[in-house]
Amino acid sequence: MSRKFHRFPVFLTGLFLLIAPLPIAGVLADRNEARGEIDELPVDEARLLAEVLHKVRSDYVDEVSYEELIEMAIRGMVSGLDAHSAYLDEEEYEEILISTAGSYSGVGLEVSIENNQVIVVAPFDGTPAKRAGIRSGDIIISIDDMPVVHDNLGETITRMRGKPGSRVKIVVSRADVAEPLSFDLARTHIRVASVKGEILEPGYGYLRISQFSENTGAELEAALRKLIKEAGGPLDGLVLDLRDNPGGVLDSAVEVADLFLNSGIVVSAVGRADDARFSMRARKGDLLEGARLAVLVNSGSASSSEIVAGALKDLNRATIVGSQTYGKGSVQTVMPLSGGRALKLTTSRYFTPSGESIHQSGIMPDIVVTPDDAESVALMSLTGTVDAASLMKDNQVATALATIKKRNIVHSRAE
């Protein structure tokens, strides 16, 4: 996730969002060098790089331009840092800027690289990928019969994007299925409303956030006020559903948590640069006026979702229900470069209010509930709508509602 954007949306379209453009790389370098934090490039290493470029340029079986070789070298260097850093060409950078507004042309997936495999973090609600049945945890094997490139997530995302109406074949492997699964999907223009709501029963509401785009905070506030109006007064409790939400814009996550808080640190981050060290606090104005709150999470809840769940858990504002979250605890910043290109670089690691990092460990719910009725959840995603009757068939939703209806709720903290 990034500080104004986050990972990339793979709305394959492709996922990852980021932060508002910082100064270009040269400015950052000068600033850091002034602090004495960046050494001069060693002459021997620079000479080695030039040697390799020259040898490949002159002796490789196919002719490759210096421009191509240098771009490949940059991609390899940045992608070797971690699974979330990437060099972005002009097209990839433009896609990221578009994705932060919640508008995509693709199939609707968030992906990541783990153990040299392209893993589906989560499909987005109401998208071709979700309707077809692609699931969190699926491993993407090939796109249009071409194997995916495990060390270049940006290329995988680009191949899944395309003009609305065009088709793409995605083959995945699934842990509990012997043979690979093939999905023939029609790309579409995806304008995802990130928030949906419903009254579960008198006095109790349900809100689902499918991703965090720039408008999610405002969407959630509007949806919550609508539920309060429909209920005829303040709610007695709310279920906030963050399952299969892969994350998004950091500022939006803070805005969402802030809607249910009156004070306290929502998230803090530590990095090497001055801009990478920050803390973000809640302001007075809990729209629920202290009414009970339960947050639903699962293994597809990542990044911004984990910031919201972690803040509400640590500040004893909500009970977390479901299964362990994904575990992405880093912030990516997009730094514009010359020629319309950019660098998406991991610049911070973030921490929940208790000072805990969730990186690679995730958030463990207060109440662990394994879903026993996946069909009802799938049905809601197929239609792109929710209704109280269908929601109450979902045992995780039912457990969350029962939890907030109890007079005494015990909050546990992560060890």
Whether the pLDDT of residue 188 is over 80: the answer is yes
- The separation between CA 86 and the C-alpha centre of its own chain, rounded to angstroms, equals 15
Taking the C-alpha atoms of residue 138 and residue 183, their distance in angstroms, rounded to an integer, is 12
- List, in sequence order, every beta strand (DSSP E) within 311-398: 319-322, 330-336, 342-351, 367-368
Q: pLDDT, tens digit, for every residue of 81-100?
A: 998 899 998 878 877 776 67
Contact status, residue 347 vs residue 3, Cβ threshold 8 Å: yes
Per-residue model confidence as pLDDT tens digits over 328-383: 999 888 899 999 999 999 999 999 999 999 988 999 999 999 887 544 454 444 34
Q: What is the structure's pLDDT at 99? A: 65
pTM to 2 decimal places? 0.70
Is it the case that residue 400 has pLDDT exceeding 60? yes
Given its phi and psi angles, is residue 222 left (phi above 0), alpha (psi -120 to 50 degrees) or beta?
alpha
CA distance linking residue 314 with residue 318, whole number of Å: 9
Measured distance CA(79)–CA(93) in Å, rounded = 16
8 has a pLDDT exceeding 50 = no
Question: How many CB atoms sit inside 10 A of residue 98's CB?
Answer: 15
| Domains, in order of start, for the chain | 195-331+350-405 (3.90.226.10)
Question: For residue 10, how many C-alpha atoms fall within 13 Å in the half-sphere facing its CB?
Answer: 26
pLDDT of 314 > 80? The answer is yes
As annotated, the active-site residues are 303, 314, 328
Q: 291: which 2 tokens?
A: 């009414």
The closest of 195, 287, 286 to 245, measured between CA atoms, is: 195
CA–CA separation, 267 and 265 (whole Å): 6
By C-alpha distance, which of 284, 245, 278 is closest to 263? 284
